[in-house]
């Protein structure tokens, strides 16, 4: 027998419930306005746990002196974190698809019937939804984009040249499609893509494995952010392997990694970004500046909550010092927010 759905609770009753649980409401009209614009589920249920006695439970009670504004501040911080994380990953995506298009052109040329020849790709795994292999599903989608383009500049190239080169096709590929495209590419192509991105000639198996997982992590965070998920506590269902050189840049030891730090959280995203941008850290610098600014603003509201926030994100107290050292930058090189 299915459980009954929760009934709608009027805004005034929602506010009374919060007050009964010990949350300080300083301005009811302000709270009502915020709940109408944001919803109780997104704002309160999404960000209350840090402020509850003993964490989330059926008998919810808020820590003494916690105000509605405390929850709102955390919600606003996480919203900014979501925007800047998505912006970072869009920059990563641009570098990724550019490198893929260069490498594919280098190995197979610009003709779609050549670079999309199925013999150029591994078959992948069989997918349950249609019982076809990853390669066939991907090439079916890409050939449809080429033969029946729906967006510019693919339409223009199809009509004018009767061909869509790889550097144009990638503009209509999702991050997920780029990830599978890379995964199924032959070893020589993958090595060139990775070498071009990190400017390293001797690509090791650790590099290949770490990069593949990093791309998967970027894709998970991208989708989570795009759908409005809570970011500061997010743990992706994919883990980075331990890479001592890069994990220790955020002071994460193998033991700390085994306890969960730097695996699939925000600190893991930063480690993956340090790896991805190692040939040019400018792609990460704007994120670093915004992160410091927003976290410093949040710190002004309460040191204990700030410490809890850092812990949830997997970041040490001196995360900025460690990031700057990892990126080999000094204060004079950091733009002001």
Q: Where are the alpha helices (DSSP H) in the chain?
A: 11-20, 28-38, 40, 46-47, 68-108, 112-115, 134-147, 154-161, 166-169, 175-184, 187-198, 205-226, 244-247, 254-258, 266-276, 282-299, 303-313, 319-326
CA distance 263 to 105: 34
In a domain, 259, yes or no: yes
- pLDDT value at residue 106: 97
Do 61 and 87 lie in one domain? The reply is no
Would you state the pLDDT for residue 332? 42
Q: In angstroms, rounded to a whole number, what is the distance separating the alpha carbons of residues 20 and 157?
A: 64
Give me the domain span that covers residue 60. Answer: 11-66
5 within a domain of the structure (yes/no): no
What distances in angstroms separate CA 239 from CA 47, 210, 260, 294, one per listed residue? 25, 10, 9, 26
Task: Report d(CA 86, CA 82) in Å as an integer.
Answer: 6
Q: Let me know whether 103 and 215 are in one domain.
A: yes
| Residue at 3 is within a domain | no
Compute CA distances 240 → 57, 199, 208, whole Å: 32, 21, 12
Domain check: are 58 and 82 in the same one? Answer: no
What domain count does the chain have?
Answer: 2
Per-block average pLDDT, block size 10, for the chain (337 residues)?
68 95 96 94 94 75 95 96 97 97 97 97 94 97 97 97 97 96 96 96 92 97 96 97 96 95 96 96 94 95 87 94 88 52
Whether 27 and 49 map to the same domain: the answer is yes
Determine the pLDDT at residue 247: 96
Can you give the pLDDT at residue 336?
55
286, β-bridge pairs: none
Do 39 and 139 fall within a single domain?
A: no
pLDDT on residue 4: 61
What is the percentage of the chain residues whose pLDDT exceeds 70? 95
pLDDT confidence of residue 311: 93
Query: Residues 90, 208: one domain?
Result: yes
| pLDDT confidence of residue 55 | 58
């Amino acid at each position: 027998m299915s459980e009954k759905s929760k009934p709608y609770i009027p805004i005034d009753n929602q506010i009374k419930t919060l007050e009964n649980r010990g949350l300080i409401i300083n301005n009811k009209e302000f709270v009502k306005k915020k709940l109408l614009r944001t919803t109780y589920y997104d704002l309160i249920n999404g960000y209350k746990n840090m402020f509850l006695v003993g964490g989330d439970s059926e008998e919810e009670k808020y820590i003494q002196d916690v105000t509605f504004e405390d929850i709102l501040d955390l919600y606003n911080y996480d919203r900014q974190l979501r925007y800047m994380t998505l912006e970072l990953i869009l920059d990563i995506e641009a570098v990724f698809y550019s490198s893929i298009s260069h490498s594919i052109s280098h190995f197979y040329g610009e003709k779609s019937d050549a670079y999309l020849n199925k013999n150029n790709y591994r078959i992948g795994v069989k997918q349950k939804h249609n019982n076809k292999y990853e390669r066939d599903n991907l090439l079916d989608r890409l050939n449809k984009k080429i033969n029946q383009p729906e967006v510019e500049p693919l339409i223009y190239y199809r009509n004018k040249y009767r061909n869509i080169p790889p550097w144009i096709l990638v503009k209509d590929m999702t991050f997920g499609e780029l990830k599978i495209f890379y995964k199924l590419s032959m070893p020589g192509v993958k090595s060139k893509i990775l070498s071009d991105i990190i400017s390293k000639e001797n690509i090791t198996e650790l590099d290949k494995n770490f990069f593949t997982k990093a791309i998967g992590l970027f894709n998970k965070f991208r989708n989570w952010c795009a759908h409005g998920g809570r970011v500061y506590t997010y743990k992706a269902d994919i883990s980075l392997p331990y890479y001592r050189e890069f994990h220790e840049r955020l002071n994460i030891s193998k033991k700390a990694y085994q306890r969960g730090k730097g695996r699939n959280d925000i600190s893991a995203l930063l480690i993956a970004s340090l790896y991805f941008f190692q040939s040019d850290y400018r792609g990460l610098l704007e994120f670093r500046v915004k992160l410091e600014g927003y976290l410093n603003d949040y710190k002004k509201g309460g040191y204990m909550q700030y410490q809890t926030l850092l812990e949830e994100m997997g970041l040490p107290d001196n995360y900025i010092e460690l990031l700057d050292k990892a990126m080999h930058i000094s204060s004079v090189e950091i733009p002001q927010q």
